[in-house]
Amino acid sequence: MNVLAVDIGNTRIKWGHADAGGGWLRQGWAPTATPAALAADWSALPPPQRIVLSNVAGDAVRAEVAALLPPAAMPPLWLAASGAQCGVRSGYAQPASLGADRWAALIAARHIAGGACVVANAGTTMTVDALDGDGLFLGGCIVAGATLMRQALARDTANLALREGVFAYFPDNTGDAIFSGAVNALAGAVRQCQSYLEQAGALQPVVVLSGGDASLIEPRLGGTVLRVDNLVLEGLLRVARDPS
């Protein structure tokens, strides 16, 4: 099945075009603030049989993207989290309230890891979600991304203006201290979730890691880390193949 998968995030709209065998033929992105930039790329694609989308950027952006979609053999499928899908069961108090991007990432991680795992997607915000060995989503947390953390310090303090910095074990200047603090906070959230999973009975849960800030935190993590370019797109593609 020829599929167009679209991940509408807070900062970027990422998309991928896959062939019947499941391989990505082409991928791209546009700023969420200017979705019209997608029109030229999508008009050059072969007509897709299925379009499946995830949106966390609100109704106005959804309407803009919907107007740009190429004709397809089937109506577009806008993913929404549910109680169970594609081998994942939800333990969320209100399953439908989970973000579609988190749900897609969980579906992808279930099939990539094949067992208990921490699903971390590090972008504008970072989501850290726990899957047990039976595919049950136990829950997770949301953390401000590295840039948001640094911007908050610059905005809400008198002496911590936004500045350049690099990671260090023992930072010896303010720029590095702020940057390292953000990285350690992100990595710490992932490692803590690993610890909680182990306390719940999982044996050495792996981390399935994705997102624009993945490279910042990957070296700070322990155990097995499976780096995936775009977990949400991978999950959307799996839903397109078998939505049940």
Q: Does residue 131 or residue 243 have the better pLDDT?
A: 131
Under 8 Å between Cβ of 6 and 235? no
Q: Which of 101, 129, 132, 213 is catalytic?
A: 101
What phi and psi values does residue 23 have, to the nearest 5 degrees?
-85, 145
Residue 208 one-letter amino acid: V
**For helices 231-241 and 100-113, what crossing angle results, to 10°?**
80
What is d(CA 237, CA 50) in angstroms, rounded to the nearest whole number?
A: 10
Q: Which residues, other chains included, contact 185 with Cβ-Cβ below 8 Å and sequence gap of 6+?
A: 143, 149
Task: Give the pLDDT confidence of 178-200 residue by residue, as tens digits.
Answer: 999 999 999 999 999 999 999 99
pLDDT at 77: 96
Q: What percent of the chain has pLDDT over 70?
A: 100
Largest CA distance in the chain: 59
Q: Which of 95, 181, 99, 184 is nearest to 136 (CA)?
A: 95
Q: Does CATH place domain 115-146+175-231 in 3.30.360.10?
A: no
Please give, one letter per residue, the 3-state secondary structure of 22-55. Answer: CCEEEEEEEECCCHHHHHHHHHCCCCCCEEEEEE
What is d(CA 147, CA 177) in angstroms, rounded to the nearest whole number?
A: 14
Task: Give the pLDDT confidence of 56-75 residue by residue, as tens digits.
Answer: 999 999 999 999 999 998 99
Q: What are the beta bridge partners of residue 130?
A: 118, 139
The structure tokens 């203006």 sit at 161
What is d(CA 122, CA 142) in angstroms, rounded to the nearest whole number?
A: 10
Classify each residue of 183-199 as buried b or exposed e, where b means 16 or more C-beta atoms within 10 Å of its C-beta: beebbebbbebbeebee
Whether 229 sits among the annotated catalytic residues: the reply is no
Q: Where are the domains of the chain?
A: 3-78, 115-146+175-231
Please check whether the two domains, 3-78 and 115-146+175-231, share a CATH topology: yes
Q: Where does the pLDDT of residue 23 fall: very low under 50, low under 70, confident under 90, or very high at 90 and above?
A: confident
Q: What is the mean pLDDT of residues 226-231?
A: 95
Q: What is the mean pLDDT of residues 131-154?
A: 96
Two tokens at 224?
């097995």
For 3-78, which CATH superfamily applies? ATPase, nucleotide binding domain (3.30.420.40)
- Residue 20, pLDDT > 80, answer no
- Residue 21, pLDDT > 90, answer no
